[in-house]
Amino acid sequence: MHPETHLELHRIRSVELRDQARDFRLTRRHAPRKVLRTRLGWTMVEMGLRLIPAGATMQSGAPRTA
């Protein structure tokens, strides 16, 4: 590949990356962190519950107290 072509491709890609970084910074300012964290947490709980088979019980080595 010709060196000038390589440099031009690098310049184009660096402009794209800068634009993506700017857009990411803008969205981070407007998106409240607590709302996203809560949504992610409940999604993880829901996925975990789907992974557990229905009627599955965990057996522990500790004796039951009641």
pTM, two decimal places:
0.40
The residue-averaged pLDDT of 26-54 equals 81
Contacts of residue 63, defined as CB under 8 A and 6 or more positions apart, other chains included, come to: none
Q: Report the number of secondary-structure helices (H) and strands (E) in the chain.
A: 2, 0
The residue-averaged pLDDT of 50-65 equals 70
Q: What are the tokens at 64? A: 């039951």
Considering only residues 3 and 63, tell me which one the structure prediction assigns the higher pLDDT: 3
Q: What is the tens place of the pLDDT at every residue in 4-32?
A: 899 999 999 999 999 999 988 877 666 67
Look over the chain and give the mean of its residue pLDDT values, rounded to a whole number.
82
